[in-house]
Amino acid sequence: MLEALMKIFGKKESSGKIAKDRLKVVLIHDRANISPEVMNNLKNDIIRVISNYMEINQHDMEISLADDDDSVALVANIPVSRMKHDKGKNKG
Amino acid sequence: MSEIYVITSGKGGVGKTTTTANLGVGLAMRGKRVALVDTDTGLRNLDLLLGLENRIMYDLIDVTEGRVEYKKALVRHKKYDSLFLLPTSQVKDKTAVNPEQLVKLCNDMKKEFDYILIDCPAGIEQGFKTAIAAADVAIVVTMPEISAVRDADKIIGELGRADKENIKLVVNRIRPLMVESGDMLDMDDINDILSIECIGQVPDDEMVVTSTNRGEPCITMPNSQAGQAYRNIVSRLCGEPVPFMEFPKEGFFTRLKRVFNL
Ligand SMILES: Nc1ncnc2c1ncn2[C@@H]1O[C@H](COP(=O)(O)OP(=O)(O)OP(=O)(O)O)[C@@H](O)[C@H]1O
Ligand SMILES: [Mg+2]
């Protein structure tokens, strides 16, 4: 009943809109033609570089491609647990 | 000289063969000389949709393998005598024809027809590659459904890689009431996502089923909604810009009743 009401007054997000949003994301990945393996290598490389400067929570890290107007953006969400204060001097 | 169209989709069962049959009949009703080429070897259906299944003597493979001239394999439509079907084999498979053979055949046929429409099989494998090889224009058929649109995008990418840049879209099996209530992608959404010129939106229509049963495409039926949509597409192919059809809307109270299951 509540759902029906929300539907009439357009409160609940319609399934058509959900389909469109999901499609946009999936097509970015399809079109980029990047294999999960490449994404994973990229992720590991990012972790390696960033770890020189800060301690990060690797398990909660997410990287993905997203729609940014007319271009594709690489979006990374990387939780930082602690900064390293040696300014990244001891690289390698 | 003819224009060569391929009707393709990626995902199966979205209405390629239905679209091919209807556009073929529609163009022939305008007096155009039309050849329909079925390339869905092993799973042929175009003959059934046109009611020509009992008239087949030779097929596409007999032609490409040089056993008969293409003219001998053409089946003339019973009612529209400028419409011809080149059926394919029901026993061979997709490897029986290659792209070069189809290009050569279409080149031979070009002088005799105004339009050659090629019905493509589902998928992106050899059958698809063969079907698109000769085409000047690709009509991608999709449905307002997430997986069909994704597969259409894949096909558009494949067409681009094969240097087929002239691509048109047909959205089939739209359910206007679902679109109205926001529960189905509409033509504008799909346009937004695929960025391909849309030349038709065809509603889901029971008359497609009954006309398929009879072997008479619904474009011949004056009161079929899908038939009207196909007539509009034919007009657009012939260079007449006609507006997209309005689907009948549901009033507020009918909607209220429906949502509350009254
Ligand atoms: N607009 C429509 N309204 C109702 N039914 C439809 C419509 N379009 C197609 N259909 C039905 O959908 C089914 C699949 O159509 P069709 O055979 O044309 O698809 P296809 O893309 O050629 O399939 P395949 O990939 O197997 O070759 C058929 O049963 C057909 O009658
Ligand atoms: Mg088919």
Are the beta carbons of B146 and A23 separated by less than 8 Å?
Answer: yes
Choose from B183, B184, B195, B255 for mutation: most chain A CBs within 10 A. B183
pLDDT of residue B1: 74
| B161 φ/ψ sector (left φ>0, alpha ψ -120 to 50, else beta) | alpha
Q: Which amino acid is at B18?
A: T
CATH of region B3-259, choose from 3.40.50.300, 1.10.10.10, 3.40.50.1000, 3.30.30.10: 3.40.50.300
pLDDT of residue B157: 96
- Nearest CB partner across the interface for B185, out of A8, A19, A31: A19
- Which residues are CB-neighbours of B105 under 8 A, at least 6 positions away? B37, B60, B63, B64, B70, B134
Domain boundaries, chain B: 3-259
Domain boundaries, chain A: 34-82
Q: Atom 29 in ligand 1: which residue has the minimum CA distance? A: B209
Task: Report the range of poorest mean pLDDT among A71-75, B2-6, B58-62, B103-107.
Answer: A71-75
Write down the residue that tokens 């390696």 correspond to. Answer: A48
DSSP B128: H
- Nearest CB partner across the interface for B259, out of A7, A15, A24: A7
Choose from B143, B177, B185 for mutation: most chain A CBs within 10 A. B185
Cα-to-centroid distance, B79 and ligand 2 (Å): 22
Q: Is the CB of B122 under 6 A from ligand 1?
A: yes
Q: Output the pTM of the full model.
A: 0.87
A residues 26-55 closer than 8 Å to B (CB): 26-27, 30-31
pLDDT in tens, B212-239: 999 999 999 999 999 999 999 999 999 9
- Nearest CB partner across the interface for A27, out of B150, B183, B255: B150
pLDDT of residue B119: 98
